[in-house]
Amino acid sequence: MSLSGLGDTGKAQPPPALFPAPESDTPTPGRRRGGAPQNGSSQGGPSHDGPPQNGSAQTGPPRTGDEGRQLVFFGADAAEPTVADLAGLLAGPGEVVRMGGTARLSVQVDAAWRVHVLVAELASRGLAASWEPTEGERHAVRTSYTRVLKPLAAAWLHGTTKRPPAAFHLTGRRLRLWLAAAGTPEPPDGFLLRLGPDDQECWESIGVALGAAGLAGTLLGPGEGGPAYRITGRRRLARLAELVGGPPIATPPHAWPT
């Protein structure tokens, strides 16, 4: 994707240190996610030996464990990344705001590994991202203002209120981004997909889209550990794992459906 129209990204910080730091998980254009990742951009790509540093990311062998998994129609591996996939972040706690003929997308996350994954996912769609720590040991990941995101903002914003478009549906890549930003395992057999706390007008439509994807869930309110949709049952969790594909390299053990 062309980077024209993205605007000045400024001096973004490198992603926060992990333990251990992951390799870059940005997919190479024209290749499936199972291939060896390559990243020549200066997105703060991390290395094996210490905290992420500015400069080009190291490459490494492909992640194993997904051999033999068949591509699922609408699954994360079934198509190349596009900006439209970012609707998955808006299904969760992501926000989009407009300024003139441009828009910016942002999301707050609760763990450093999510920053690494989201920065790489945004980069794979031609969008440079920055991050900064926020209160409560959280991190804010955001893009620059760019014309590229204007259609997404137009579809989701009614004035300043976020609301899914009428034809909204969830694909594997959208679910993958939602899960990377706000998915949490709930042992022994559940998974939470967290929602925006101020997005009550979105919750019902998001639940309908989950059901249409074969992931009918239970809506948990703020007093029940939410807002979030709880996905339970072996069949639904297997469906979720099938749609989102294998875990990104930065993901801690047991934080991703398998």
Which pLDDT tens digit goes with each residue over 96-120? 999 999 999 999 999 999 999 999 9
Number of folded domains in the chain? 1
Q: What is the mean pLDDT of the chain?
A: 78
Domain of residue 112, residue span? 83-244
Residue carrying the six token digits 């794979």 = 124
Q: Do the domain assignments include residue 165?
A: yes
Q: Do the domain assignments include residue 195?
A: yes
Which pLDDT tens digit goes with each residue over 63-83? 333 333 334 444 556 568 999
Q: Do the domain assignments include residue 72?
A: no
Residue 43, pLDDT score: 36
Residue 48, pLDDT score: 31
Q: How many helices (H) and strands (E) does the chain have?
A: 6, 10
Can you give the CATH number for the domain in which 202 is found?
Answer: 3.10.28.10
Q: Do the domain assignments include residue 235?
A: yes
Residue 54, pLDDT score: 35
Q: Is the dihedral of CA 3, 109, 230, 246 positive or negative?
A: positive
- The answer to whether 116 and 108 are in contact (CB under 8 A) is no
